[in-house]
Structure 1
Amino acid sequence: MTDLQALQSVTDDMVLCRDVMVTMRDGVRLATDIYRPARGGGALDRPAPVIIERTPYGKAMASRAELEVGMTEPMDRATVAEHFVRHGYIVVYQDCRGRYGSEGEFVKYRSEGPDGYDTLAWIAAQPWCNGRIGTMGLSYAAHTQMAAACLAPPALATMILDSGGFSNAFTCGIRQGGAFELKQATWAYREARESAVAAGDELGQKALGAENLHRWFGRMPWSEGRSPLRWAPQYEAYLLEQWRHETFDDFWKQVGIHAAGFYDAIPNIPIALMSSWFDVYVPTTFENLAGLASNGKRPLALIMGPGLHGDRNLSFAGDVDFGPNAPLGGNVAASWLEFRRSWFDRWLKSGPEGDLDEEPIRLFVMGGGKGTKNETGRLDHGGRWIKAKRWPLAGVTEQSYYLHPNGRLSEAFPAADAVALTYDFDPADPVPTIGGALTSGQPIFAGGGFDQ
């Protein structure tokens, strides 16, 4: 960015330089918004630490993650940026490749490693950056963080991985234990429609909007030109590519979807991992915790709440309510904003140590409620937050149970001559499952606790 590029005054003490086009190694340019501390409408000259979020959801659009306790609508980007800017940070938001204002072709997850690395290198070279960069963001914006970290950007100083950052996308995130996650199909369809809207493609909007996704889910598997994404070929192409890699081959070992293969390359920086029990990324979060902790050199923290994907400040998930102690805000920290600000102060500014240094594990333990329906009609399940120094928790042992011919579980291994258990399964008539640890499934399915 040069001094010739226009700065917009957002508040008395913050200015915005919008749509700076940052060039990647292959010449593609990514649209980037930069919020800087200011005085009298002019950006302050002194270098500062930088916080960045790279997103496919529109850098100028509000993130659903920015919802504090009591809010009905999430805060916009400028409001979030202002909170950090007033505490001495520069905040950067960037559209991922092929999304919204950025150039290039969007291929889900595959460009985020090199694009993230190049973006951090560009930021570190700017006179307003003091050389220390922290990253944040929910879901896909957590995947972008981990992808870049696998390439070890020199200026990367800390991360807050919020409900994402694939440890192994074959077993969690794209496929679940090898089975393709159909949330990828609903996500692709929804984002293809959003992309058509952003591009002003009225014909594409109408064509995609006319598709009946429920009927298409009864016409699987999909193929080229035979899917609700036929009107958005680049979305259809990447989705089918993911779908067709049915074994753990080299496709799944790429930067961006397999952090487990790069843990040793990730810098020894402080990392906070965030998820919740009804989020699809529970395995990813705990696998990342174990993998990143293996060398004993990285300060790590873990927060595991009770709710749905990114809904850290709600007290319920589906038809189950966990009570007033469930939200992160007011229990684990004053707010999600303040948790992140405190974390960045600690690791980007060498601020005071907090209780996370001594007990970095925060877990919500469900249960203890009345078991009856509350005034909202949800099951009063209850729960409480606990603190711990490490995971697995002290005093916990792992126990294996085995299924026996009589249908019972036992710690004893089945006898060698036990009759094999068999069952018939018709994929056209599956056993229904309602809720669970799911995300991005609308309008087909939703996560949470429900009466089965």
Structure 2
Amino acid sequence: MHPSFYYLILSGIFLGVSVALAAAAYHFQIYRYVYNWYLGLRSPSCKVAKEHNLLIPMRDGIILSADLYRPKEEGRYPAVLLRTPYGKENTEHSYPVLATILCSLGYVVLVQDVRGKYASEGEFNPFIHEEKDGNDTIDWISSQQWSSGAVALYGFSYLGSCAWLAARDPHPCLKTIIPMFSGQNAYRGWVDHGVPYLKDILYWLSRHGGRKGRDVPHEEVDLMIWQLPVLQFDKRLKDGIDTFKTWMHHLHVDDYWRSISVSHIREEIRMPVFFVAGWFDRFLTNTIEDFLETSSANAYQRHKKSRLLIGPWEHHPSEEFPEVSFGREAKFRSCIKFFVEWLDLHLKGEASTFDENNPIDYFMMGENRWRKASSWPPKEAKEKFYFLHGMGKANTMSGDGVLTAEQPADEKQDHYVYDPLDPCPSLGNNMIYGNQTEGPREQSLVGARRDVLAYKTEPLPAPVKAVGPVSLILFVSSSALDTDFCAKLVDIHPNGKSYFLVAGFIRMRFLDSVRATHGIEKGKIYRLEIQLGHTAHAFLKGHRIGLLVTSSDFPNHGRNLNTGGSNEGDSEEAKAFQTVYHGGIYASRLSLYTVE
């Protein structure tokens, strides 16, 4: 017979065996063992039963829909609650997989569509109803026959916000929360000291502002964000129009933002929290501040220590970027076992292996390994300054800008022109929806621009390990009535390529207060203190520490039109002649905290 005949026979046998094995695996729920082994978890102890579209009434009569995953074996179990605007059966967010894993370990898991989304009744108004709806749902859980009376809220991003808001006035059964890539302060998630995170706002509302999510090409939003005035975006939004208008009219902290935040009542939090963040996530600084202030807010928190975990991740999260990989140890999935151990500790009362003397686990980039700390920055970290200098030609990465450990005696100036119609792109950032621009992106495109000043050290004779907050004192003047200044910390490799680490931004009209409406004086020299956020990165031997200074970070931040008028309501713009001063009495300098 022809050889192809035998090939067909063997293929058929192989296919039949594969189907039979798959059916058997499904029947005996073998996949649970595979998942748990893959994630480094203990073997499953429970078979999983799922109930679809349970109807849960809220105090105002609105019905929310949820899927319930519970052990088939009778008994009372602790519960883990996930409240999502992205669809409770969303496979992209892996809710069914996560729920199955936790359920196999002895937890009931409830995945709920928040109000106004997918199968739940009501109108979606971001964050507004999550405190009451979260607690009403916990009340429902606690009344069920299978409930042990212990509940945790868990989740990424908006789900983390749902956890925080339920903790504002918590139900007695809420024992802990695990908010990931989120924060207590809703304002700072969407507005940076008066400046809207424009692309993220528009993309999120375009995609998720309606009852169901929709596929939105980035090009559709990119076209919108170039249009002026900004407030006309609402005419192009298909969903989320009311929310967009509200946020654009609340660009400072007020009662609206306080009503959907927790940061102003941290001292009232009486439960342990497992904080999770990424070095390239929008909520990193917010999360670190939340951890530091919550952990010391009251006697309960000082005794019942919360924990903080920070990895080399962006918002979604991933350790793999187009030009940088942080290795196997950085994989987010390797950390899931810690979250399960946390739940076991606080919902089941089981013993844990957590190091209570070192509640912080962080990933040191460059070295690409995990470290522990008892405080942030670590106690052994020392502040080190790098002074800006040069001969007045620091434009582009090929310019003469330098960073030195010694303060230069002679005063010099660097100049550039910022044009709102040709803004510096947000390449390398902490955006939520950066469309592959987020994270440690290579900076050649940015560093080649004439409106970018670059300052760099000599090649390092030994590694410099920066761990902690990064800040910049910058002396500047402008020809504009209002303008922006922003800075990036970069790692310059021996081959000349430079990679983004962290960035900061300031709008001049808000120097004194986010509520300020006045502009600045043309030509006056101002002392700026720009907070770039936090990092843990080893600049290796032969590398250079680099600093990029410019006046736009678009579309991450909305553009400053330089007129002193409304950057959101106007369409008129003007170029700005910018000057950076260094040396002598103008000690412009970069601050890093370093460890051995």
TM-score, length-scaled by structure 2: 0.59
Partner of 1:81: 99
Partner Cα distance (2:353, 2:85) in 1: 33
Partner secondary structure for residue 144 of structure 1: helix
Partner Cα distance (1:169, 1:300) in 2: 21
* Greater alpha carbon shift after TM alignment, 433-442 vs 87-96: 433-442
Partner secondary structure for residue 347 of structure 1: helix
Between the aligned residues of both structures, percent identity stands at 30
Partner Cα distance (1:310, 1:137) in 2: 12
Q: How far did residue 278 of structure 1 move?
A: 0.9
Question: Which of 425, 434, 438 is residue 447 of structure 1 equivalent to?
Answer: 438
Partner secondary structure for residue 292 of structure 1: helix
1:438 maps to a residue whose letter is: M
Partner of 2:180: 162
Asked if the contact 1:317–1:449 (Cα under 8 Å) also holds between the matched residues in 2, the reply is yes
2:85 maps to a residue whose letter is: P
Question: Which of 19, 40, 43 is residue 53 of structure 2 equivalent to?
Answer: 19
2:107 maps to a residue whose letter is: Y
Per-residue CA shift, 1:138-170, capped at 9, x if unaligned? 111111101111122211101111110x33233
Partner Cα distance (2:58, 2:413) in 1: 57
Q: How far did residue 434 of structure 1 move?
A: 0.5
Question: Which of 360, 371, 376 is residue 391 of structure 1 equivalent to?
Answer: 376
Q: How far did residue 361 of structure 1 move?
A: 1.1
Asked if the contact 2:58–2:133 (Cα under 8 Å) also holds between the matched residues in 1, the reply is yes
User: Are 1:310 and 2:319 matched, yes or no?
Assistant: no
User: Are 1:52 and 2:81 matched, yes or no?
Assistant: yes
1:321 maps to a residue whose letter is: S
Asked if the contact 1:292–1:298 (Cα under 8 Å) also holds between the matched residues in 2, the reply is no
Structure 2 CA distance for partners of 1:111 and 1:287, relative to 1, 3 Å: same
Q: How far did residue 347 of structure 1 move?
A: 1.2
User: Are 1:249 and 2:254 matched, yes or no?
Assistant: yes
Partner of 2:197: 181
Per-residue CA shift, 1:152-201, capped at 9, x if unaligned? 2211101111110x33233x31112321012011111122478266xxxx
Structure 2 segments unaligned to the other structure (5+ residues): 1-26, 30-45, 393-400, 444-596
Partner secondary structure for residue 325 of structure 1: helix
Partner Cα distance (2:426, 2:217) in 1: 27
Question: Which of 319, 326, 340 is residue 323 of structure 2 equivalent to?
Answer: 319
Equivalent runs, 1:207-246 vs 2, <5 Å:
212-223=220-231, 226-229=234-237, 231-232=238-239, 235-246=240-251
Q: How far did residue 317 of structure 1 move?
A: 2.8
Per-residue CA shift, 1:341-389, capped at 9, x if unaligned? 2111111111112134343211111114xxxxxxxxxxxxxx2111122
Partner secondary structure for residue 173 of structure 1: helix
Asked if the contact 1:51–1:92 (Cα under 8 Å) also holds between the matched residues in 2, the reply is yes
Partner secondary structure for residue 50 of structure 2: strand
2:440 maps to a residue whose letter is: G
Partner of 1:289: 291
Partner Cα distance (2:374, 2:233) in 1: 53
Structure 2 CA distance for partners of 1:213 and 1:131, relative to 1, 3 Å: same
Partner Cα distance (2:229, 2:139) in 1: 42
Asked if the contact 1:47–1:129 (Cα under 8 Å) also holds between the matched residues in 2, the reply is yes
Structure 2 CA distance for partners of 1:90 and 1:210, relative to 1, 3 Å: closer
Structure 2 CA distance for partners of 1:409 and 1:309, relative to 1, 3 Å: same
Structure 2 CA distance for partners of 1:385 and 1:359, relative to 1, 3 Å: same
Q: How far did residue 125 of structure 1 move?
A: 2.1
Partner Cα distance (2:389, 2:335) in 1: 47
Question: Which of 191, 195, 203 is residue 212 of structure 2 equivalent to?
Answer: 195
Equivalent runs, 1:132-171 vs 2, <5 Å:
132-164=150-182, 166-170=183-187
Partner of 2:265: 262
TM-score, length-scaled by structure 1: 0.77
Q: How far did residue 404 of structure 1 move?
A: 8.0
Q: How far did residue 413 of structure 1 move?
A: 10
Per-residue CA shift, 1:42-61, capped at 9, x if unaligned? xx2x2211011101111111
Partner Cα distance (1:265, 1:423) in 2: 48
1:138 maps to a residue whose letter is: F
Q: How far did residue 328 of structure 1 move?
A: 3.9
Partner of 2:576: none
Which of 1 and 2 has greater Rg? 2
Q: How far did residue 423 of structure 1 move?
A: 6.5
User: Are 1:364 and 2:363 matched, yes or no?
Assistant: yes
Question: Which of 421, 430, 439 is residue 423 of structure 2 equivalent to?
Answer: 430
Asked if the contact 1:50–1:91 (Cα under 8 Å) also holds between the matched residues in 2, the reply is yes
User: Are 1:121 and 2:139 matched, yes or no?
Assistant: yes
Structure 2 CA distance for partners of 1:225 and 1:388, relative to 1, 3 Å: closer
Partner Cα distance (1:106, 1:306) in 2: 33
Equivalent runs, 1:404-419 vs 2, <5 Å:
none
Partner Cα distance (2:429, 2:339) in 1: 28
Partner secondary structure for residue 219 of structure 1: coil
Partner Cα distance (2:308, 2:153) in 1: 16
Partner Cα distance (1:245, 1:359) in 2: 39
Q: How far did residue 107 of structure 1 move?
A: 1.0
Asked if the contact 1:15–1:35 (Cα under 8 Å) also holds between the matched residues in 2, the reply is yes
Asked if the contact 1:439–1:446 (Cα under 8 Å) also holds between the matched residues in 2, the reply is no
2:307 maps to a residue whose letter is: A
Structure 2 CA distance for partners of 1:138 and 1:275, relative to 1, 3 Å: same
Partner Cα distance (2:335, 2:55) in 1: 30
Partner Cα distance (1:26, 1:10) in 2: 42
1:307 maps to a residue whose letter is: W
* Greater alpha carbon shift after TM alignment, 316-325 vs 143-152: 316-325
Partner Cα distance (1:194, 1:150) in 2: 26
Partner Cα distance (2:209, 2:273) in 1: 32
Partner secondary structure for residue 438 of structure 2: coil
Partner secondary structure for residue 69 of structure 2: strand
Partner of 2:109: 91
Structure 1 segments unaligned to the other structure (5+ residues): 1-8, 65-75, 198-204, 330-334, 369-382
Q: Give the alignment's Cα RMSD to 1 decimal.
A: 3.1
1:252 maps to a residue whose letter is: W
Asked if the contact 1:308–1:317 (Cα under 8 Å) also holds between the matched residues in 2, the reply is no
Q: How far did residue 90 of structure 1 move?
A: 0.7
Q: How far did residue 399 of structure 1 move?
A: 5.9
Partner Cα distance (1:194, 1:366) in 2: 40
